[in-house]
Structure 1
């Protein structure tokens, strides 16, 4: 699935209509969660039951009926996504909180399926035909949608961001761009001191977008609390503050995307650490720096480009990759403050370079076993007595990324 995004231009009344459709989506999702909470013990609540319940909501509330029927179903499906995620976490018996479904307070998008919208023949305008009164919106951006068949458009989303409204067209096709084989293999160790260090010794500088913008962000945040609550000046101050955070988010995404593309183009095999970032950010001393480095976003783009370029991306268990000598395999205990790996075998490397070499060696061992390649260019195998399982749902990762 690919997504084409355009900024939309309309009148103030149209923006208000989009905001109303988004609020309706939030209302339906929360009502679906409440219906599950109240009736899950006595009834079997699944995706289809929530779809039937959404039909009841259309009959009960006139503003829900104004929204397109498939958009109403899509809103109910969002509630089911939260519920099914909770069920999956319970079955996996993950430690800590299982993600019990919560009521949404700030919904930012409304999603239409195959009805409720119509693309202009010029493909520079889109018209929403339900009773919300959104009407015709102009599309601003590159006109790549001209090259695709309208039947391939499976979903259309309207998204509110700090700098305006955007329209996303989700196409149910897969793009492949097979790159020539280079014969190169690389191991990547992500970090805070440098964005990543590879097995060739190259260290990519950490841009630290949030750290650089932090002074400006804090200044704009202070301006919010100097304004009267509910005033127009306070709303303007909040908008300025939100735009600064949006800029940082876009900088991170473009940086990770560019680096991942270059890494996958120049290497046939990319090995990286299978880190659990959600656990790492629990350390309050490092949480901001880890989030600013956007390790998980970088990993997502590597997996995406590996599938697109027909390359291989292998996740490796991170255990002892920094402590093991990449030359002889001996364990050399060292603290985080020790930045150079030195051992009796004569190996003297930067700590992160040594870890990157270990990551690549472990990936090669995985390939020497009984690897199984999936459709996303990822590989799983038996490694050092541990089972590495990497099941990546491409569409799910794409959806999570686009919500940001």
Structure 2
């Protein structure tokens, strides 16, 4: 029996997902693994010709798929090591942000930003530059101070901000190794209030986006006006005035997707609460939706917000029929090589589509066509059809990452078909 066959025989396949969160990708892996120690993981990687890690599965494309071995790191011993002197915490890569946040809050600490979903894993979110919102806040990867990963040879590699290639390794698409631990910067815990305002005029979009600690604007592309503004503001700041930017206050809690129960969402109506119960849109204890959806997302320069949104007016009639909701946000610039926010503050256009790939892909292509003048960088974990040559031109360090990939994984252990398309060997 081969080494892979031996590993596969000991695998509890029920513990490893066969599909992604949305269900639009069925993993092609021939074996599924759940190691219970880092040494077991190292031996597994060293004996595998192709292997990928799966986290929460909240990716909508095949960057994470493989026809080799698929492994979850959720069976590794949990780690939460808070270093108060450095203002950092080291955690298991498979830990969910929501679970980490609860622990940090009890110790008097917080993360500066969180994504809309607290259900996602730390390593997976970092690897794709997943983000929250806020003009002065970077994406989740920008808080990374160190990584521990198992390389293609089965070695354990630790890197921190002092390493020359660190900025290239953080947003690594799972292509440089299997991340077992992540060190993150932390800040003192804080409280926020969340207010939902209705019916925003486009002329006030810029002001609205910069009006609070974290802001999300929701639209359905069926009207030139923007349906909702979710303002997450520091608790000791005054509430928005009754006539704030010509909007009206929501008189009951809202869900971003019309018709979905608001009980799934974090508290609104100005009720104060800890950062980790306000920054995400959804509660950790609830599934935010059935998963029957697709998602796309594009990052353009922050200064192009109004023009980029206006550029989609000509295709709004195509977008609306296949759209559940669109979210508009901002993210601060960083220096990470493959971050969509690399060296530019960003305006982010997110699309939650109906679960119909055949109907959605042509619309995605038209959206990308209309946004092309603004050099959009797609979210690495979402649905996009951008030409590889065009995408490479939008990242100043793209070639450097490709070289790093060839150096750290010369035999293609962590390669996938989609990785080969965007980073040819």
Using the size of structure 1 for normalisation, the TM-score is: 0.25
**Higher RCO (CA < 8 A, seq sep 6+):** 2
- The structure number with the bigger radius of gyration is 1
Using the size of structure 2 for normalisation, the TM-score is: 0.24
